């Protein structure tokens, strides 16, 4: 079927028959007319709700690996496909391929989680994450061509097709999160951490273009980011995004930032972690807040402004002089100079107010007219 599709010689009805046969419950109906009518109707929602089927874990893993290799080779072996992405070649088959990848991935997740009684949550996520990412990566990830040029996963004219695959990837990631939340609720946020790290290290580059990042952000922002609990490595990777990736890539970070429970997270680090880790965590968060404050997309965002106001009540006592210098460097490079003269209660003044709190600047006496003379 894949070979026939690659040659663009296969009718889409073949794909529909394959998907219905593999991923839906087929009801035996004695009425030939009813049976023929049922066979002629293709409902993609039936495929999307399939979470298990009669194959072993090893067989499903083998299929995922084989699909990954097939599409990666298809993309790497053809210069035109490497340049323009798989979508231009696979066109009408893309919705069916995305359904198949999603169904196989969900089936694999179900089988691994159900058989994981003797495994730690980290072992389960290690088994799950890589095969799932690998099967989608030929469709969504930038790749380096033979001449060293970074190529985009699709061109703007294929945005509509790409949404199908990115949406399938998002739903699969959410399914992993849900299954882990049922099995190991305290560790389920690790799935969101893995996804965000993949977005930053695998999907975002200096050459990323806005229409591709917009597709990722539109889909990924639907996930329950309020459950994310960043560790130091993830936080410091978020901080580096403005330096190592295209400016548009920060959009997802800016969306996620206000949803995280920073107050409780900072309190945890302050009471449970050593001084150095806590200091780096506080400095990293301060930089992220400043980066959001100076970003035109988020400087007036209601949720970001609320977080900036809330952050003035956080404990910043562990920020070192070097850490504070780095925070100020970001602020001085990108801030609007008008913020210095802005009214204290305005959104424009939030950055200066935050810097004062992080610095530990506290006035012991009230400001009066006599002091201003």
pTM assigned to the model: 0.90
Say if residues 47 and 114 touch (Cβ distance below 8 Å). Answer: no
Q: Quick one: pLDDT band at residue 372, thresholds 50, 70, 90?
A: very low
Residue 162 and residue 87 in contact, taking contact as beta carbons nearer than 8 Å: yes
Predicted pLDDT at 28: 46
Among the residue ranges 14-18, 202-206, 360-364, the one predicted with the least confidence is: 360-364
Across 309-329, average pLDDT: 93
> CB of 174 within 8 A of CB of 48?
no
Question: What are the respective helix, strand and coil percentages of the chain, to the nearest 5?
Answer: 70, 0, 25
pLDDT digits (tens, 9 = 90+) for 31-48: 554 555 555 688 999 999
Binned at pLDDT 50, 70 and 90, residue 338 comes out as: low
pLDDT exceeds cutoff 60 at 367: no
Judge residue 320's burial from the number of C-beta atoms within 10 Å of its C-beta, 0-12 exposed, 13-18 middle, 19 or more buried. Answer: middle
User: With 80 as the cut, is the pLDDT of residue 340 above it?
Assistant: no
Q: How confident is residue 13, by pLDDT bands cut at 50, 70 and 90?
A: very high
pLDDT band, residue 373 (cuts 50/70/90): very low
pLDDT at 115: 92
When pLDDT is averaged across residues 289-316 and rounded to a whole number, the result is 91
Q: Of residues 32 and 277, which shows the higher confidence score? A: 277
Average pLDDT over residues 266-285: 91
Tell me which residue of 333, 331, 332, 275 sits closest to 308, measured CA to CA.
331
Alpha-carbon separation of residue 186 from 174, 179, 180, 190, 244 (angstroms): 16, 12, 9, 9, 32
Q: What is the pLDDT of residue 342?
A: 58
Give percent of the chain with pLDDT exceeding 90: 75
- How far apart CA 286 and CA 288 sit, in angstroms, is 5
Contact, 352 vs 294, CB < 8 A?
no
pLDDT at res. 332: 85
Provide mean pLDDT across the span 56-62. 96
Tokens in use for 275?
Answer: 């001084």
| Domain ranges across the chain | 1-25+41-243, 261-361
More confident residue, 331 or 136: 136
- The pLDDT of residue 30 is 47
Average pLDDT over residues 309-318: 93
CB 222 within 8 A of CB 182: no
The arithmetic mean of pLDDT across residues 20-24, rounded, is: 92
């Amino acid at each position: 079927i894949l070979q026939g599709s690659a040659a663009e010689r296969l009718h889409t009805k073949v794909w529909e028959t394959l998907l219905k046969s593999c991923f839906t419950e087929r009801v035996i109906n004695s009425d030939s007319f009813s049976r023929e009518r049922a066979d002629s109707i293709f409902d993609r929602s039936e495929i999307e709700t399939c979470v298990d089927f009669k194959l072993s874990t090893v067989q499903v893993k083998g299929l995922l690996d084989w699909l990954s290799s097939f599409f990666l080779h298809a993309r790497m072996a053809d210069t035109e496909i490497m340049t323009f992405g798989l979508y231009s070649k696979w066109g009408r088959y893309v919705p069916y391929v995305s359904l198949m990848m999603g169904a196989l991935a969900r089936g694999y997740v179900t089988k691994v989680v159900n058989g994981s009684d003797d495994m730690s949550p980290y072992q389960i996520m290690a088994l799950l994450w890589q095969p799932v990412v690998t099967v989608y990566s030929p469709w969504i990830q930038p790749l380096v061509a033979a001449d060293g040029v970074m190529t985009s996963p699709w061109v703007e004219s294929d945005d509509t097709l790409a949404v199908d695959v990115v949406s399938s990837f998002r739903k699969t990631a959410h399914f992993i999160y849900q299954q882990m939340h049922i099995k190991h609720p305290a560790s389920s946020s690790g799935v969101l951490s893995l996804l965000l790290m993949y977005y930053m290290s695998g999907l975002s580059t200096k050459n990323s273009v806005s229409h591709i990042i917009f597709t990722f952000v539109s889909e990924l922002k639907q996930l329950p980011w309020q459950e994310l609990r960043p560790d130091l490595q993830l936080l410091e990777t978020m901080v580096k995004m403005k330096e190592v990736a295209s400016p548009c890539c920060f959009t997802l970070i800016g969306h996620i930032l206000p949803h995280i429970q920073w107050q409780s997270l900072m309190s945890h680090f302050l009471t449970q972690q050593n001084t150095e880790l806590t200091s780096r965590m506080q400095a990293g968060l301060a930089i992220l807040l400043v980066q959001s404050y100076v970003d035109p997309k988020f400087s007036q965002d209601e949720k970001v402004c609320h977080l900036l106001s809330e952050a003035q009540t956080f404990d910043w006592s562990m920020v070192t002089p070097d850490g504070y210098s780095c925070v100020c460097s970001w602020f001085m490079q990108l801030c609007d100079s008008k913020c210095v003269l802005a009214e204290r209660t305005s959104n424009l003044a939030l950055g200066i107010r935050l810097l004062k709190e992080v610095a530990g600047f506290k006035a012991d006496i009230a400001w009066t007219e006599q002091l201003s003379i």
